[in-house]
């Protein structure tokens, strides 16, 4: 496969993981980087040996010949940057949350479709190897047809020290973290027809909600509960593990803290440790997220080479984003929200 030349826009907290992962992928190289903050540009450029540096994305697009661009800025800049990539006909990866609103997200997906450029949202949690392990059990048929799921992320980890902006937005846990957990629910149990939500803010020092509980009807007939909290102090801090319970017609699976997967199904009960690998550049407890960054970026390169649509394409991500919007609408109204009405 020919080497793909990419550029990274946004050299902040999380982009460092993306740069490490690009370095591990033989078929792609980051040949230029961009950040409006010269200090971040210097730090990341020096760390990864990238000489071509821009403080303005328009200048980057004008000067470079690129096979793709990887947008790792925060949400406010996603729409203009994705539209810029579409205007230059450059395939684009964009970090989650894809857009400030579902209306913006729809316009961005339409812009890339019109320009004929591939678009993938960097929705990486479903690429964590324990989550892929759960999917493989469902695919094996061992527990039959799922009728119930609980996908749970409860923690008191201080996410604000690394990502201070998370404390200041009117929207917090659903938009930033719940978006991943809702996507996992879709990945495991399929698309959603309706959602009921309740939220709370427990931490008085932040602006948005830090607790969210969502009940969903899946089109398959399954029911799921997605529950997220950053106000849950536990004896052993589980960050950033997603815990999963699925009941099926022929058995059950439980992904418990410590990446322990118990499956009771047609062939009896098995208990396995499905801990993610610790990549050489990764650090605990972030290693499962870091490993998923490498997996999703590899997937992107495979998709560009084969012309396949990425699993978390812009069009796919609209269905996850609609769940985020539905959760905020439903928490405010205390009424169930029909998902197809939003799409």
Residues that bind ligand 89V (CB under 6 A): 159, 163, 176-177, 180, 240
- Number of chain residues interacting with ligand NAD (CB under 6 A): 25
177 binds, among ligand 89V, ligand NAD, none (CB under 5 to 8 A by kind): ligand 89V
CB-nearer residue toward ligand 89V: 94 or 159:
159
Using CB under 6 A as the binding rule, whether residue 37 contacts ligand NAD is answered as yes
10 binds, among ligand 89V, ligand NAD, none (CB under 5 to 8 A by kind): ligand NAD
Tokens of 214: 């969502």
- Preceding amide of 97 cis, omega within 30: yes
Burial 81-90 (b: 16+ CB within 10 A, else e): bbbbbbebeb
Element (H, E) at 119: strand 119-122
Shortest distance, position 165 Cβ to ligand 89V, whole Å:
10
Return d(Cα 307, Cα 139) in angstroms, integer: 25
Beta pairing partners, 33: 8, 53
91 binds, among ligand 89V, ligand NAD, none (CB under 5 to 8 A by kind): none
Return d(Cα 312, Cα 300) in angstroms, integer: 10
Using CB under 6 A as the binding rule, whether residue 34 contacts ligand NAD is answered as yes
Provide the 10 A C-beta neighbour count for residue 148: 14
Per CB under 6 A, the segment of 29-37, 126-134, 220-228, 323-331 that binds ligand NAD is 29-37
Using CB under 6 A as the binding rule, whether residue 9 contacts ligand NAD is answered as yes
DSSP one-letter string for 227-259: EEESS---SS--TTPPEEEEEETTEEEEEETTT
Query: In the window 144-173, what residues touch ligand NAD (CB under 6 A)?
Result: 163
CB-nearer residue toward ligand 89V: 137 or 226:
226
Provide the 10 A C-beta neighbour count for residue 313: 19
Per CB under 6 A, the segment of 28-36, 245-253, 254-262, 328-336 that binds ligand NAD is 28-36
Return d(Cα 58, Cα 60) in angstroms, integer: 5
CB-nearer residue toward ligand 89V: 251 or 314:
314
Element (H, E) at 264: strand 260-265
Region of 225 on the Ramachandran plot (φ > 0 left; ψ -120 to 50 alpha; else beta): beta
Using CB under 6 A as the binding rule, whether residue 179 contacts ligand NAD is answered as no
Using CB under 6 A as the binding rule, whether residue 77 contacts ligand NAD is answered as yes
Q: Which stretches of the chain bind ligand NAD, using CB under 6 A?
A: 9-15, 34-37, 40, 57, 72-75, 77, 95-96, 122, 124, 163, 176, 289
């Amino acid at each position: 496969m020919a080497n793909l030349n990419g550029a990274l826009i946004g050299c902040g907290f999380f982009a460092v993981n993306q740069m490490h992962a690009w370095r591990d992928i033989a078929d792609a190289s980051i040949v230029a980087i961009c950040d409006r903050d010269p200090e971040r540009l210097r730090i990341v450029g020096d760390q990864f040996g990238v000489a071509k540096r821009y403080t303005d994305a328009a200048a980057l697009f004008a000067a470079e010949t690129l096979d793709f661009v990887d947008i790792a800025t925060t949400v406010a800049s996603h729409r203009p940057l994705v539209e810029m990539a579409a205007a230059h006909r450059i395939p684009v990866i964009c970090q989650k949350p894809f857009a400030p609103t579902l209306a913006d997200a729809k316009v961005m997906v339409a812009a890339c479709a019109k320009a004929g450029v591939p678009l993938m949202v960097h929705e990486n949690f479903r690429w964590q190897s324990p989550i892929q392990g759960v999917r493989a059990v469902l695919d094996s048929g061992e527990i039959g047809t799922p009728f119930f799921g609980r996908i749970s992320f409860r923690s008191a980890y201080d996410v604000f020290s690394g990502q201070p902006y998370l404390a200041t937005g009117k929207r917090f846990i659903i938009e930033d973290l719940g978006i991943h957990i809702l996507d996992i629910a879709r990945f495991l149990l399929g698309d959603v027809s309706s959602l009921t939500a309740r939220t709370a803010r427990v931490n008085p020092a932040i602006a948005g909600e830090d607790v969210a509980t969502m009940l969903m009807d899946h089109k398959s007939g399954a029911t799921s509960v997605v529950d997220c909290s950053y106000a849950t102090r536990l004896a052993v801090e589980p960050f950033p593990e997603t815990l999963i319970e699925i009941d099926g017609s022929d058995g059950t699976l439980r992904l418990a803290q410590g990446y322990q997967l118990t499956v009771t199904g047609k062939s009896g009960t098995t208990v396995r440790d499905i801990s993610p690998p610790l990549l050489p550049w990764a650090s605990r407890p972030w290693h499962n997220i870091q490993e998923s960054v490498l997996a999703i970026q590899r997937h992107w390169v495979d998709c560009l080479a084969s012309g396949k649509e990425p699993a978390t394409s812009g069009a796919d991500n609209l269905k996850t984003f609609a769940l985020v919007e539905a959760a905020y609408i439903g928490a405010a109204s205390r009424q169930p929200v029909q998902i197809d009405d939003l799409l």
